[in-house]
Amino acid sequence: MTIFFCGDVHGDFQHVVDAVKRHRPAGVVLLGDLQARQPLEIELADILHQTEVWFIHGNHDTDSDPDYDNLFGSSLADRNLHGRVVDVAGVKIAGLGGVLRGQIWMPPAHANYSSADEFIRRSEKGNRWRGGLVRKHHSSIFPEDFLKLRGQRADVLVTHEAPSFHAHGFGVIADLACDLGAGKSFHGHHHEQFDYRNQSQARGVDAFGVGFREIMDLRGRVLVNEEFDGVLDPDASADADTLRYQTVIN
């Protein structure tokens, strides 16, 4: 029995369904940018009785009201690993969804807002969504999200953002894996497969980047490998002053 870690699916879940039916993993973790076209429980209805399904959200999961509602409003919304540690088939997995944005926090710089509540308090009423946090920032990482995980222990850390082993990754992500005592970490977001073990093992972590619509197992073996989409565009959700080029699906 193993656990699958699934790279950005961007609305296409069929390869996940097919892989679960074929391999019968104990658990599945979706690494963000799901962009479900229907409520998530409908997209994955064929496998919910066969495996545990968990996820973290990505930056594109707040691009539109349907993107948000089909994930955060689905009956599987409580399967979001963001900001907590969960036992999945005997493996303790910690999750950190979303991305770092300059308007909120761009490490190593000091954060402009420590929490979502602080952002709402300091925002004008016209700069709110459904009476609260702006939709985009439901996928922004705040310092409070790290604090929820500090002091806990986990075997695996899953994130949407990459750790600093990636050229566009962040030291705070790598540090979090070490703080948790996580022996493995997996991330999505960049749409390419990465094996960082030559760099990351010095810090006691086997780190992997999972590619576009790719599936890895707990040992970092690739089970499903969709061809890299090859589109290089600036992330439209990033703030203009902190724009970083990264691969995204149109």
pLDDT in tens, 33-46: 999 999 999 999 99
Q: Which helix (H) or strand (E) holds 227?
A: none
Contacts of 149 (CB under 8 A, 6+ apart): 83, 84, 85, 94, 96, 176, 179, 180
Query: If you average pLDDT over residues 113-122, what whole number do you get?
Result: 96
Condensed to tens digits (0 to 9), the pLDDT of residues 79-95 reads: 999 999 999 999 999 99
Please state, for a pLDDT cut of 90, what percent of the chain lies above it.
86
| Contact in structure between 6 and 210 (CB atoms under 8 Å) | yes
Beta-bridge partner residues of 129:
132
Secondary structure class of 100 (helix, strand, coil): coil
CA–CA dist 91, 237 (Å, integer): 33
Q: Alpha carbon of 239 to those of 43, 47, 128: distances in Å? A: 31, 38, 17
- What is the reported pTM? 0.90
CA–CA dist 176, 88 (Å, integer): 19
Condensed to tens digits (0 to 9), the pLDDT of residues 92-102 reads: 999 999 999 99
Extended beta strands in the chain, E state:
3-6, 27-30, 52-55, 85-88, 91-96, 156-159, 184-187, 194-195, 206-209, 215-216, 222-224, 232-234, 245-247
Extended beta strands in 50-137, E state:
52-55, 85-88, 91-96
Beta-bridge partner residues of 30:
6, 55
Least-confidence region, from 155-164, 185-194, 196-205, 219-228: 219-228
Q: Which helix (H) or strand (E) holds 220?
A: none
Compare 126 and 22 and report the one with higher pLDDT. Answer: 22
CA–CA dist 91, 26 (Å, integer): 10
Contacts of 20 (CB under 8 A, 6+ apart): 4, 28, 47, 50, 51
Would you state the structure tokens that stand for residue 198, as one six-digit string? Answer: 């030559």
Reply yes or no: is the peptide bond before residue 25 cis, omega within 30 of 0.
Answer: no
Query: If you average pLDDT over residues 109-125, what whole number do you get?
Result: 94
Secondary structure class of 171 (helix, strand, coil): helix
End-to-end CA distance of the chain: 35
* pLDDT score of 163: 98
Q: Going from the N-terminus, what domains does the chain have, and what CATH number goes with each?
A: 3-247 (3.60.21.10)
